[in-house]
Amino acid sequence: MRNLKDVLAVVAIIVFTALMPRLFPADMHNVIFAVFIVLVVIFQMCSFSGRSKLSWKRFYTSSFNILTTKNTLKLDFEFDQKTLFEKAKEVLITNGYKNLIIDESRKLILVKERISFKSWGENIYVTILGKDNGNSELVYESVAFQIYTWGKNEDNGTKFLANMEESFII
């Protein structure tokens, strides 16, 4: 287990499973299980419906959203916000991401990673924040649509930041 959220999720499942026979009659167990599965499926469908919208970023990156795994990396650059934003778009395209969803005013980029054997999909948010001294900070946020990841979102983030640093080397 990587963090407290993962441990709490496993503990909650074990406690609920242990208490279910005491809380509910035996003939209700299948109904309760079916209702739980239906609620999880509805929640996941709602989650996936807003995947392409930048306005859903707060929902996906919220610490209260226990059905997603988040990864945040930050890196400071000695470039202005506009230059770094253009370079981030360029590096994302170079990394193979085709359909970038861009908000120029907020300097925010959304990339959707496809479903694979390691992940149920992933949203990648790249935000460029300006600093007082003319420098900028790049914030890379990865949201995987599952409770536990196999390191795919961390690998994507590390690769992206390494490519960003390399892109400025002449």
Give dist(CA 154, CA 159) in Å, integer: 9
CATH of domain 53-170: 3.30.530.20
Q: Where are the alpha helices (DSSP H) in the chain?
A: 4-23, 29-49, 57-61, 81-94, 152-167
pTM, 2 dp = 0.75
Instruction: Give the sheet arrangement for strand 101-103, strand by strand.
Output: 69-77, 136-144, 122-130, 108-113, 101-103
Instruction: Give 45: exposed, middle or buried? Use CB within 10 Å, 0-12, 13-18, 19+.
Output: exposed
What's 115's DSSP letter?
P
Domain ranges of the chain: 1-50, 53-170
Task: Work out whether the CA dihedral 107, 93, 163, 110 comes out positive or negative.
Answer: positive
What's 105's DSSP letter?
T
Task: Work out whether the CA dihedral 101, 69, 145, 45 comes out positive or negative.
Answer: negative
Give dist(CA 13, CA 163) in Å, integer: 40
Q: What is the pLDDT along the chain (170 residues), one digit of tens a residue?
A: 456 766 777 787 788 778 777 777 878 778 887 888 888 788 777 777 788 888 888 888 887 777 777 888 898 888 899 999 999 999 999 888 888 999 999 999 999 887 777 667 788 999 999 988 889 999 999 888 776 667 777 777 888 888 888 887 76
